[in-house]
Structure 1
Amino acid sequence: MEEQQHYFNRDLSWLSFNYRVLQEAKDKEVPLYERIKFLAIYSSNLDEFFRVRVASIMSLASIDKKKLNKELELKPKKLLQQIHHTVQIQLNEFGEILHDHILPELRENNINLHYGTKIPSEHHAEIQHFFKSKVLAYLQPVFLKPGKKRPYFLNNRGIYFVLKLKNLKKDKIEYAHLNIPSEYLPRFMIFKSADESHEIVFLDDIIKLNLKFVFPNHRVLGCYSIKLNKDADLNIEDEYSGDLVEKIRKQLDKRNIGEASRFLFDNKMPEEFLDYLMEVYQLDEEELVPGGRYHNLNDFFKLPNPHKPKFQNEQQKPVVKKSLDRESSIFAAIRKKDQMLHFPYHSYDYVLRFFNEAAIDPNVEEIKITLYRIAAESLIARALISAAKNDKKVTVFVEVKARFDEENNLRWAKKMEEAGINIIYSIPGLKVHAKVALVKRKNDADEISGYAFFGTGNFNESTASIYVDHGLLTTHPEMIQELDMVFKYLHKRKPVKEFNHLLVSQFNLQERFLEKMDREIANAKAGNRAEITIKLNNLEDEVMIDKLYEANCAGVKVTLINRGICCLVPGIEGLSENIKVIRLVDMFLEHARIFMFYNGGEEEIYLSSADWMKRNLYRRIEVGFPVYDPKIKRELKKFIQLQIQDNCKLKSINQQHENVEVIRRKNQPSRRAQRDAYHWIKAMEQGR
């Protein structure tokens, strides 16, 4: 990277994050099957990266330079070269981790994952029976011929064999492809051998052992695995007219037929065979990516563990919150004081209770909520349906542009609409990414009171067990009033009065954050203590980065806990030499956004659904919210302190965006933020 470059490329920065995930796969202190899970996460992340980001960059590379606006002048072809170079280095390390560490350790524990190795003959009969009774029904062999006007169809992310065959009857060479139906059948089959070892076999190899039943009268001369990634980012035209929901329904079917972004092939494939495939699938050179014998290794999520729960993380029982449990209802507890929940350390059942109690409480009159990513079997959606059937007025804003969740969101929207819920669909031109809910309830004086939930994460009980997020339950009257204004804007696009407490993108979020940073800059210039601490998933927007650079130059102490993309470049003398950028990757996905400003000792703390990305600041509705309760402020400060002091899983990010290990001093105790946060919260709740 050139010294004068002040912004790191977002895609290369993301690859730096995904490499940090890969690093967990080789950490000997991580249980064996958790390390395998990190291989799966790395593979899944990379797959989506090629389907979305690389596909977009390839589209840019095909545009005439003159037509590129200033924002896009990033030399896409050169960027693609850098991406492929970086990914190839990472994939080589992926292979080394798997072959040199994971597979030998599995064997040491009598688990043989057959990764291109010979399967014991004692299991061949059982494998053949499984193949004939289960697998054969899903196979769809297709013979290939060059010169076809349209390329042969391959499912996006589907895995296939391509075969060179000798037709014994006609005495000629033929080519074919054959699907590996891992979307319908388990990718792995497990057998127990006579010596008590466990043999795990890929579905791919079960098929390969039985190809004679698929291609009778043929001899297999070559068989190699392939996979095609396609552009999967819905190209939705967000006009200000027309039926947006119907547009998305139509686009969902198109996701499988997008432009190719990566053709992954077994690197043992002969060059002339690859040339033949380029012709029949109509591929370009830049789409070709050599890989290993097996693809879609995100299936390692489901690798059988015959010794379960051995080799996996010890399950932590979610902590109960006594201040909520001791009251007759969750609303009584919130009336007494603000309540903060830290997930996944606290039980997510309290969020479910909030909606369940609202659904049956005779005093509750109205419920409003935004839903961005809904669980497949959503208990929250079911509670909302019950509320509607119990004559509550229920309004649900469903974001149908949530990437890869559009279909599930639409399915639930239809169910809720059929139950009488007022469904508001996406706003043209904007995504609604806020995670907020409002319950209106009559009190003893027959007056309407509001109860709000403000969150940093989705209303999704499935992901809540693995995402680190925070949720605030409050009756703060001004915050309630402003939240109601947000919902009225979403519903009827009513003009919004000034927000004095909430930070809402499209209205005041960026402006208020800039003001708070300006205040720290002024304090630093006056010789006073000034600090900014920010925890984000992603930092991309140049306006916000420039303000952080300005803060650095003024003498403000800036600490960034940045999990993913970070386009800010630390360590540049006279610009960012005192900005500390750190990254935490561990058992759970760090997802919360926290913003802390020293403010001359009167510290301000905000939480938000928003990263500092262009999309969050300019093309979404996001809600940031203040924390006023002193006790909750102390909790959040402690939470951040634990992360900054981590010496097990924390990495610092240098000027080249490398993940630099934090060196633990001799005799320094082990500090692991996620482990320590759980024990701290558990002790805190037990002491109440």
Structure 2
Amino acid sequence: MIKDKYTYINREISWLQFNARVLQEAEDESVPLIERLRFLGIFSNNLDEFFKVRYATIKRIEEAGKAARSELGGYAASELLEIITQIVIKQQSESLDILNKIHEKLEDENIYIVKEDQIDESQHSFIKNYFIQHVSPALVTIVLSDQVDLPTLKDSAAYLACNMKLLDGKCQYALIEISRTMDRFVVLPKKDNIDYIIMLDDLLRYCLHDIFSIFEYQDITAHMIKITRDGELDFDSDLSKSFIEKISDSVKHRQIGEPIRFVYDKTIDEETLRYFMDKMSIETNDSVIPGGRYHNRRDYMDFPSLGRTDLLYDKISPLPVKGLSLERSIFSTIANKDYLVYTPFHTFSYIVKFLREAALDPKVKSIKITIYRLAQISHVASSLINAAKNGKKVTVAIELQARFDEQANIDYAEQMVSEGINLLFGVRGLKVHSKMCVIEREEEDSIVRYGFISTGNFNESTAKVYTDFTLLTADQRILKDINKVFNFFETNYKIFRYKHIITSPHYTKSRFFKMIDNEIENVKKGKPAFIKIKLNSISSYMMIDKLYEASRAGVKIQMIIRGLCCLVPGVRGMSENIEIISIIDKFLEHTRMLIFCNNDDPKVFISSADWMTRNIENRVEVTCPIYDNDIKQELMDIFEICWNDNVKARILDETQSNIYKKNDLPKVHSQFDTYDYYLKKLQS
């Protein structure tokens, strides 16, 4: 099948439409006001990462002169870069309009974000003192001249580009870095029951004379600029360096990578803009994007709550899993039955409890686990170190190339090595993205395995906001296969065979093709047939083509895709039997599950893998079958709750207009209804 603009949606354009759905949450007046600001922060943070990774990749393709239309969904690289830039400019403009409307709503709630020219006398002394005590000691200010080269600007850091009109008529330029180590939002003293906040940028503008007091000037202006750099890691070939050293050096080098986006305050005067662009060797044909007064709006993710719980989402208390107690041995409980933990609806404490029990149990001989992204303060890591101190053989397959978390993982890796943990760095050319753990316990002169397999990272922080499944199991069939994956890490010249789990890079395509073919055969024979898929993203053309084949055969396919989706649903003769929705809401939808009808004997799976080329061919991933009938039904129930969402679900189609799914049926708000579903389970 020809890979063109009509058969597939370009992945970059689709991703930008996903970020548009995030922006819809910022615009949605049913979302609590401060949460709307935080969605603006998520939108901005997403965009930064998009430019560092995807835009930079296309830029490299263009510069290399590669003919990559098939990989880019039928577009030439230069054409696609221009389309992306225009979409981003439009979205940035929309986000500024939304921000202004939110500011107006905040004022209705007696919360004022004030600028430097709105400071009154009572606030003056507080700001001056705050500047002296907290800001000035950490301030980085660079005075520029024709003789002084501009230092390399940090990736994604924001700067105030200053222009002083001196008394002799000359211009003196300077640059002030907006430090990430300081709070971006400074809460001013409350007055008459009104909250006041000034952004650090405006506080600096208010104190410009204090910063540049040695200069005699008649006027001074300060406008924000930001540069985004290529986020790809480049490895050197020095054989004397360890893998950890190479990763660490590459992370440091990322800060001086090639610039791929320059954003500036559109009110800046042409002379000042030209000066700084010349200093940074930025050409007008690069991705130069006019923006608003403030950049790095990702900081809105940390907008202060001011004690206004009425302007935030109601907090939920994570529920216990019915039948699974934190006060009894998890091993003895799961020895009899599998259990599913669905965070954040359930508490992540079960995973920590499992590892702590393994660390202390004298019968546990070994622990093997994969690590992709850990929390800043990780109870998972401390449990593994505790186990090593207790004499257990602990093996950790840690992924040092988890994008933008490399340094944190390096720090943990060095700490684990010092504590005697056996570290594995995966397989050359393959990222370890699978989420799994297996322990071996001595019972009555034999070794019994216990473990867990997850769709998400073993991270206490993200478990509060990401939806993820974790299967706790003592099913020896599954755990024997999981143990083989760890053997593959150590002897990766061997290709192991797995009877139960599905692994990338060797078996994902063939096993899922076989199951899709089974549905095709069943529908041709008049038997029940359907496929239900929930993923973060789908961009693999071969998987999409296979789903198109199933659709043409008459298999009904329902898909829930949070992020990018290159599949074009609902096209006559190609995909008329495929429907797709996307849910963006309070929690980030991160679960991956797959359900195949199998002639009314459903096959149900949870997975670490999306259906992207990288997950299928370039990563170690694990898709786990669900054998427990109760959990099978639970997962099918969860899919139906999500599929019937008519509050936060958007319809994905060839128009990419992100229309909300609305109907006359009773309201289904899937994330809230899921919580109620588990609450009823506890009460039954």
Matches within 5 A, 1:289-438: 289-325=289-325, 328-438=328-438
AA at the equivalent of 1:319: L
**Cα separation, 2, equivalents of 1:661 and 1:241:** 56
Tell me the residue number matched to 2:175: 177
AA at the equivalent of 2:504: S
- Residue 566 of structure 1 aligns to a residue whose secondary structure is coil
8 Å contact kept, 1:239–1:428: no
8 Å contact kept, 2:455–2:590: yes
Tell me the residue number matched to 2:47: 46
Tell me the residue number matched to 1:657: 656
- Please give the per-residue CA displacement for 1:602-660, whole angstroms capped at 9, x wherever unaligned: 11001110001010001000001100111100100100000011110001112122211
8 Å contact kept, 1:596–1:605: yes
- Please give the per-residue CA displacement for 1:311-359, whole angstroms capped at 9, x wherever unaligned: 1111110001241118730000010111111111011100000000000
**Cα separation, 2, equivalents of 1:188 and 1:327:** 42
- Residue 64 of structure 2 aligns to a residue whose secondary structure is coil
Tell me the residue number matched to 2:557: 558
Does residue 682 (structure 1) correspond to residue 682 (structure 2)? The answer is no
**Cα separation, 1, equivalents of 2:502 and 2:681:** 30
**Cα separation, 2, equivalents of 1:238 and 1:140:** 35
**Cα separation, 2, equivalents of 1:408 and 1:660:** 39
Tell me the residue number matched to 1:595: 594
**Cα separation, 1, equivalents of 2:116 and 2:583:** 35
Tell me the residue number matched to 1:110: 110
Shift of 1:261: 1.2
Moved more, 304-313 or 418-427: 304-313
Distance 1:635 1:266, change over 3 A: same
Tell me the residue number matched to 2:123: 123
Matches within 5 A, 1:607-626: 607-626=606-625
8 Å contact kept, 1:400–1:406: yes
Does residue 134 (structure 1) correspond to residue 131 (structure 2)? The answer is no
AA at the equivalent of 2:77: P
AA at the equivalent of 1:225: M
8 Å contact kept, 2:477–2:500: yes
8 Å contact kept, 1:343–1:470: yes
Which residues of structure 2 form unaligned runs of 5+? Answer: none
Tell me the residue number matched to 1:209: 206
8 Å contact kept, 1:260–1:287: no
**Cα separation, 1, equivalents of 2:222 and 2:471:** 56
Shift of 1:242: 7.2
Distance 1:237 1:543, change over 3 A: farther
Does residue 646 (structure 1) correspond to residue 642 (structure 2)? The answer is no
RMSD: 2.0
Does residue 267 (structure 1) correspond to residue 253 (structure 2)? The answer is no
- Residue 622 of structure 1 aligns to a residue whose secondary structure is strand
Does residue 673 (structure 1) correspond to residue 670 (structure 2)? The answer is yes
Give 1:196's match in structure 2, choosing from 185, 193, 196.
Answer: 193
Tell me the residue number matched to 1:463: 462
Matches within 5 A, 1:7-156: 7-65=8-66, 71=71, 74-100=75-101, 102-114=102-114, 118-146=118-146, 151-156=150-155
**Cα separation, 1, equivalents of 2:41 and 2:415:** 33
AA at the equivalent of 1:186: D
8 Å contact kept, 1:327–1:333: no
Tell me the residue number matched to 1:226: 225
- Residue 198 of structure 1 aligns to a residue whose secondary structure is strand
Shift of 1:126: 1.2
AA at the equivalent of 1:287: S
- Please give the per-residue CA displacement for 1:545-581, whole angstroms capped at 9, x wherever unaligned: 0000001100000111000010001122100122101
**Cα separation, 1, equivalents of 2:333 and 2:393:** 23
Aligned residues with identical type, % of pairs: 38
- Residue 334 of structure 2 aligns to a residue whose secondary structure is helix
Tell me the residue number matched to 1:629: 628
Shift of 1:237: 6.7
- Residue 599 of structure 2 aligns to a residue whose secondary structure is helix
Shift of 1:194: 3.6
Distance 1:600 1:629, change over 3 A: same
**Cα separation, 2, equivalents of 1:507 and 1:61:** 32
**Cα separation, 2, equivalents of 1:218 and 1:136:** 20
**Cα separation, 2, equivalents of 1:626 and 1:118:** 61
Moved more, 431-440 or 676-685: 676-685
Tell me the residue number matched to 2:520: 521
- Residue 341 of structure 1 aligns to a residue whose secondary structure is strand
**Cα separation, 1, equivalents of 2:225 and 2:204:** 15
Shift of 1:147: 7.5
Shift of 1:499: 1.1
- Residue 369 of structure 1 aligns to a residue whose secondary structure is strand
Matches within 5 A, 1:152-171: 152-168=151-167
- Residue 635 of structure 2 aligns to a residue whose secondary structure is helix
- Please give the per-residue CA displacement for 1:375-428, whole angstroms capped at 9, x wherever unaligned: 111101111111111011111111101101111111111111111111112421
8 Å contact kept, 1:562–1:582: yes
8 Å contact kept, 2:372–2:433: yes
Shift of 1:65: 4.2
**Cα separation, 1, equivalents of 2:251 and 2:98:** 36
- Please give the per-residue CA displacement for 1:422-452, whole angstroms capped at 9, x wherever unaligned: 1112421110000000011112x22110002
Shift of 1:241: 11
Shift of 1:363: 0.8
Moved more, 579-588 or 285-294: 285-294
8 Å contact kept, 1:144–1:280: no
8 Å contact kept, 1:438–1:451: yes
8 Å contact kept, 1:558–1:580: yes
- Please give the per-residue CA displacement for 1:123-166, whole angstroms capped at 9, x wherever unaligned: 01210111122211122222223486x65321111111111112
Shift of 1:291: 0.4
AA at the equivalent of 1:277: F
8 Å contact kept, 1:435–1:457: yes
Distance 1:236 1:575, change over 3 A: farther
8 Å contact kept, 1:456–1:593: yes
**Cα separation, 1, equivalents of 2:305 and 2:204:** 22
**Cα separation, 2, equivalents of 1:549 and 1:269:** 50
AA at the equivalent of 1:202: M
8 Å contact kept, 1:238–1:428: no
Distance 1:662 1:322, change over 3 A: closer
8 Å contact kept, 1:140–1:179: yes
**Cα separation, 2, equivalents of 1:326 and 1:235:** 45
Distance 1:591 1:335, change over 3 A: same
Residue-pair matches, total: 678
8 Å contact kept, 1:164–1:174: yes
